[in-house]
Amino acid sequence: MDVKRIALIGYKEFQDHLTSRRFLALLFLMLTITGVYVFKDIGAYFEALERYSNSPGFSRFSIPKAMNIFDGIVSGIAGCSVFGSIIAIALGFDLITKERETGSIKALLSVPLYRDEVINGKALGGILAIIFAVSAVFLMTLGIILIYSIVPGLDELGFIFALWVVTILYLSGIFVMSVMVSSFSKTSGMSFIYSLLLLLLLTGVIYSTGNFAVDAVMGPEPSVNADNLEINDYYEQAAAYSHKRMELTSLVFYVSIDCNYRKVAGALTEPERYLNRESDVRYDPDSPDPELFDLLGRLWGYILFLIVYPAIFFGIAYVRFMRMDLR
Amino acid sequence: MNLNRLVTISQKEFSDHITSKRFLLILLITCLVLGVAAANGVNHYNDAIEMYKNGCEGYLFFPSVLLAFSRITNMIGLGGLGAVIGIAIGFDLVSGEKEGNSLKTILSQPLYRDELINGKAVGGIISLALITLAGFLTILAVFLIIGIVPSIDEFFLIGIIWLITLLYMISAFSLALMSSVLAKTSSGSLVITLIILFTMMYIIPLAGGELGTQILLGPEPSDDEYGSGFRSQVDYFESTQYEYDQRKSAIYDFVGMFSIQWVYNDITSPITMPSKYVINQIEFEKFSPDPDVSEGIEKPSLWGILGDKWLNIIVFIMWPVLFFGIAYVRFMRADLR
């Protein structure tokens, strides 16, 4: 394996993506959808600001922050259906099948290079294209909020940068998944349909199965009437029950890729609300702003899973491509 | 057009579908997804019964099994399963023939073009019916395993939901069929389908609502000018605000009709969640201060719901007809040298 050749293939792939009409059309769609959500969030931002300035003493949360607006990107990309992250699937679903369909893979592999360089380069090129698309979306959002004269501070920029990285990780995971499906399918069309269905399994099905399993494992909630408990015992049991339940549910969130992303992104865009809900720390308006690294420390498990998913998928795609019979 | 030939082609298309590996995989995933959603829905249903027993607000009627279907229709509609299945069955029907050069061979047989496209549509619709039927039988099986036996009335309503779900998938299918006629290759057909779907599902309902409100109605009436507190002024402000909200929701309803997902959700939700539907109808302000309002209300009948939602139902039927019409005309006039 030679890094130079990987870089070369990655660059060529990146160029192919950027100049294809499909990428441009999907990028345009992505920009439109996130743009609509961002405008909605800007409205919410100004409302929150007004509410804060009218009643500073009673506001539950502090001043709205610039990164709250970036929540619009999250709603656009990982909204309620599989179609939000379609740009990642569309980049990857025919990377291998198309080369096989047109017969160009033989010509490609007759050039002096190894197979692993091809698959690594393809993955690299696709991820570069995703970085390009995500950066475009973030720059657009930043531009919009600057037009509305909302200027993010330095620490807010840190949060936005972290959100940028996490978004790229999430979309790369889906992209690599569709590359994996592409190495298994015969035609591009089927590869696309299978990618969509696999994404549906990874998001919706795992989430609902997990929830169902949590309910099945936990059994009924402790109740005062049923067991004739003392009231103190009851509170103790109920607290233990809800604590255990929360742990199990968070396990489900780890595994389901879109819930995972939404969780991390939600924490990054609205850190106060996240801290308020997840930990025992009561929010009080005088406490200092949450720190980025403190927050990332709390979220490390989720971020780890966001990295693990693409790694596993890429491993499978890699092995499959290396052993592929190309006669 | 000869009916015999149409039946032959539909039969062949149908047998092509059900013997393909793709069909089996889709069937398997549908049953799996719907089964899981059903189990999840039963949980939701049990919770709702618990809440109803405790006299929670928001549950006017004793929840029926259909409440479990709200999770299922969410998965099919908003989750995107139905659209994916419809597209998967339809996207390469014509473009695949073009790519494999078999279209010329078929049309050199003694048959007309319209028989071919109609036969393809009928074959696809029958396979979709089979898939949804299998999915709904899985759901019933899950219900029976958990120990919930729907009554005859509920069976009837489940049948209605099945019909609506089938219609929803047919919309996606005919959209895919149309783009497979328009495109040269199967991948191109997929891209066209996705772009149309995206524009209809997300961009028009989301952006159209905002833009329409901004352009047609202007900014929201503000209460600053009426701050002096005279009774007449407050009343005036309230009435303008009310009118504005009414118009705004009318605009949102209109653009929502472009999205088959929203329409699907809109039709099924009164059937699955009658309590919520009734509460929305009698307006929350009237309802909340006076809990006795709920005493006199009857559960909405199916015909009442259908009468209320007739416009949506017409739109729901219009989309597949429109898509199929375009596919038909384009295919009849296609230049196939």
Region A232-254: what's the mean pLDDT? 79
Instruction: Find the range with the poorest average confidence among A266-270, A275-279, A312-316, B187-191.
Output: A275-279
**Which one of B33, B194, B199 has the shortest CB-CB distance to A205?**
B33
Whether the predicted pLDDT of B231 surpasses 80: no
* CB spacing of B198 vs A205 below 8 angstroms: no
DSSP assigned state of B300 = P
* CB spacing of B197 vs A82 below 8 angstroms: no
Task: Give the per-residue pLDDT at A233.
Answer: 74
Helices of type H across A201-230: 206-218, 224-227
- Amino acid at the residue A274: Y
Rounded to the nearest 10°, the torsion over CA B153, B154, B158, B164 is 60
d(CA B121, CA B14): 10
How far CA B46 is from CA of A223, A292, B50, B67, B273, in Å, comes to 16, 41, 6, 10, 14
* CB spacing of B198 vs A196 below 8 angstroms: no
Contacts 24+ apart (CB under 8 A), B318-323: B319/B171, B319/B174, B319/B175, B319/B260, B320/B167, B320/B170, B320/B171, B320/B173, B320/B174, B320/B175, B323/B171, B323/B174, B323/B175, B323/B177, B323/B178
> The complex's ipTM?
0.75
Distance from CA of B2 to the nearest CA of A (A): 33
Distance from CA of A201 to the nearest CA of B (A): 7
Chain B within 8 Å of A33 (Cβ-Cβ)? yes
Per-residue pLDDT reduced to its tens digit, B183-197: 888 888 888 888 888
Residues of B in contact with A22 (CB under 8 A): 191
Task: Give the per-residue pLDDT at B176.
Answer: 94
- Residues of chain B with pLDDT > 70: what percent? 89
Per-residue pLDDT reduced to its tens digit, B240-291: 878 888 888 888 888 888 888 888 888 888 888 877 777 777 655 554 545 5
Q: B26 is written with which tokens?
A: 């889709």
Task: Give the per-residue pLDDT at B173.
Answer: 94
B-interface mutation test, from A205, A209, A218, most B Cβ less than 10 A away:
A205
d(CA B5, CA B117): 12
* CB spacing of A82 vs B207 below 8 angstroms: no
What letters, b where the CB count within 10 A reaches 16 and e where it falls short, cover A275-302? beeeeeeebeeeeeebebeebbebbeeb
Q: B77 is written with which tokens?
A: 């509609």
d(CA A259, CA A305): 11
Per-residue pLDDT reduced to its tens digit, B44-55: 888 888 888 877
* CB spacing of B206 vs A212 below 8 angstroms: no
Confidence band for A143, pLDDT divided at 50, 70 and 90: very high
Residues of A in contact with B39 (CB under 8 A): 208-209, 212
* CB spacing of A189 vs B187 below 8 angstroms: yes
Q: A11 is written with which tokens?
A: 């660059």
d(CA A96, CA A94): 6
d(CA B107, CA B334): 12
DSSP three-state, residue A195: helix
